[in-house]
Amino acid sequence: MFESAEIGHKIKKAEFARQEPLLRQALLTAQFKLLAQNKAPVIILVNGVDGAGKGETVNLFNEWMDPRHLYTHAFGASTETERNRPDMWRFWQALPPKGSIGMLFGSWYTDPILQRVMSKMGGQKQTQQQSQKRSAAVGTAQAKHLGNNTSAEFEKRLARIRDHERMLVAEGATILKLWFHLSKDAQASRLEALSANKATAWRVTKDDWRRYKHYDEFIEVCELALRETSTGEAPWHVIEGSNHAYRSLAAGNLLLDALGRTLKGTKATKTPAEPLPERSLDKLDILNTADYSRSLDRATYERRLTKLQGELNLLARHKRVRDRSLVLVFEGMDAAGKGSTIRRITGAIDARFYRVVPVAAPTDEERAQPYLWRFWRQIPDHGHAVIFDRSWYGRVLVERVEKFCAVDDWMRAYHEINEFEDTLTDSGAIVIKFWLSISQEEQLKRFKLREKTPHKNYKITPDDWRNRKKWPAYELAVSDMIDRTSSEITPWNMVASDDKLWSRVEVLKRMCATIEKAL
């Protein structure tokens, strides 16, 4: 895959001097058109061999274009905060908004590649030692996820990257993946030249030379990574890095082409939507199985509530929770009791342990990013919990029913949500999802009560009545959601909530059981 980047590509200085100002002006013009259009971002991934000019190219792009709208992020070793979250978390924080360019120097490819190379270099014994060190550094759950960097684990991480990039493209982003390459001899010459110059010697580290000694192993892993992740949506572009002029013009022209495609609104490929789901022939769905007759008297409720809140408090303070995080998701029809149930949970645990995130219509900032971005921002650190009052399932519920997004968008969302939740659990999160089910008759009673009760008036809006008229459409959307996103690891807990006392106790009971099993 790297043969064409080892044949000595060169551009003469005079030719570079002629082309550079033209390319620079074209890039600047395209950048401001992108900003004015404000419809899509361009994401540049900068990876490659040590000494191949990655940093110089990053600096050059910042010199050629307006850095106010060119977001540059250089990624080194993960911080403790980053290690306590999914691998992709820190990259989600760096995504550029629509109309801008984001440059990721050392992207989501770096860690999988380096960890796989180190595994192959050190053999099984060294790999086990590394695994033990990771366990001490990042916690048992995430160390288990990183495993021994086996071939199977590496393939899994590459597959997750492909899904991530496919999602970004489907959300409108253009991804430009640049790989800067040097042959083994060229890399040695480059590192020696940099080391010999006092002004540039600082750029060469012991790690650079250590990786050079294992150049062949490194290239073998990189070749596999590039081959497996060069797709129609986001192909790799390999650039020979030995000649500054050639490297700069090649990278600049690729960026100009990416900007042009973005401005035209053309994508490399279009992922078709799956066939539209249909309701079962007998019109029976999972919501019809809810038993709305379940109830509790007040005395029994108070006794069980106190007991379960005590159990939850102990579980939240369990020493193993320090290496885990808790993600609670509450969905349900309007007036199903989500808020009151959440209050019974928060009343049992230390306020420093949790955050409640009520989800409403996205802000302008959130609309400028991929759909899941605003939820990635809320992922908790180890030892903490986040409670979503409505969640990422809005895309396959309200956005589907109200036609706030295209069919393609909510159809692909099932897979993206499943991947998102798998990523959370792989990083040590305990994800518990509740659907609070309410009958139409009980909802009507609660709506009327809210209208009559002064301190509950704020809870009822014209939207609630309008949504009620679309009950059948919401039932179908909920049924599809449960069918397509309920897994063995993150199943949906359906709780009938016509009787609030019974449903609150049932939620706490299932929550405690799930946490205890996970620990």
Does 334 share its domain with 411? yes
pTM for the full predicted model: 0.89
- CB-based contact 40:173 (threshold 8 Å): yes
- What is the 8-class DSSP label of residue 362? P
Q: For every one of its 519 residues, what pLDDT tens digit does the chain have, with 9 covering 90 and above?
A: 798 889 999 999 999 999 999 999 999 999 999 999 999 999 999 999 999 999 999 999 999 999 999 999 999 989 999 999 999 999 999 999 999 999 999 999 999 999 999 887 765 444 444 444 443 333 444 444 444 578 899 999 999 999 999 999 999 999 999 999 999 999 999 899 989 998 889 988 888 888 889 899 999 999 999 999 999 999 999 999 999 999 999 999 999 999 999 999 865 555 555 555 566 655 667 788 889 999 999 999 999 999 999 999 999 999 998 899 999 999 999 999 999 999 999 999 999 999 999 999 999 999 999 999 999 999 999 999 999 999 999 999 999 999 999 999 999 999 999 999 999 999 999 999 999 999 999 999 999 999 999 888 888 889 899 999 999 999 999 999 999 999 999 999 999 999 999 999 999 999 999 999 999
Token couple for 500: 């609030």
Q: Does residue 20 fall inside a structural domain?
A: yes
Does 298 share its domain with 250? no
Domain boundary residue among 199, 233, 264?
264
Q: Does residue 352 fall inside a structural domain?
A: yes
Neighbouring-strand partners of residue 174? 42
Sheet containing 429-437: give its strands across: 354-358, 385-389, 325-332, 429-437, 492-496
User: Which range marks the domain in which residue 164 is found?
Assistant: 3-264
Does 307 share its domain with 444? yes
Q: Does residue 274 fall inside a structural domain?
A: no
Q: Does residue 275 fall inside a structural domain?
A: no
- In angstroms, what CA-CA distances link 419 with 150, 313, 450, 478? 21, 30, 39, 19
Q: Does residue 92 fall inside a structural domain?
A: yes
Nearest partner of 296 among 437, 498, 438, judged by Cα:
498
The phi and psi torsions of 175 (rounded to 5 degrees) equal: -110, 125
Does 247 share its domain with 349? no
Element (H, E) at 177: strand 174-181
Q: Does residue 281 fall inside a structural domain?
A: no
Alpha helices in 352-435 (DSSP H): 364-367, 373-376, 398-401, 407-426
Does 258 share its domain with 314? no
Instruction: Say how far apart CA 324 and CA 334 lie, in whole Å.
Output: 32
Instruction: Say how far apart CA 317 and CA 348 lie, in whole Å.
Output: 11
Domain boundary residue among 264, 294, 320?
264
Place of tokens 């008759």: 441
Does 364 share its domain with 222? no
Does 244 share its domain with 292? no
DSSP, collapsed to helix, strand or coil, labels residue 77 as coil
Does 260 share its domain with 299? no
Does 218 share its domain with 294? no
Q: Which CATH number is 315's domain given?
A: 3.40.50.300
Q: How many domains does the chain have?
A: 2
For residues 90, 75, 419 and 130, what is the CA-based torsion angle, rounded to 10 degrees?
Answer: -110
Instruction: Say how far apart CA 129 and CA 379 lie, in whole Å.
Output: 29
Does 217 share its domain with 248? yes
Q: Does residue 65 fall inside a structural domain?
A: yes
Give the CA count within 13 Å in the CB-facing half-sphere of 261. Answer: 20
Q: Does residue 171 fall inside a structural domain?
A: yes
Does 253 share its domain with 300? no
For residues 242, 223, 96 and 25, what is the CA-based torsion angle, rounded to 10 degrees?
Answer: 30
Does 434 share its domain with 357? yes
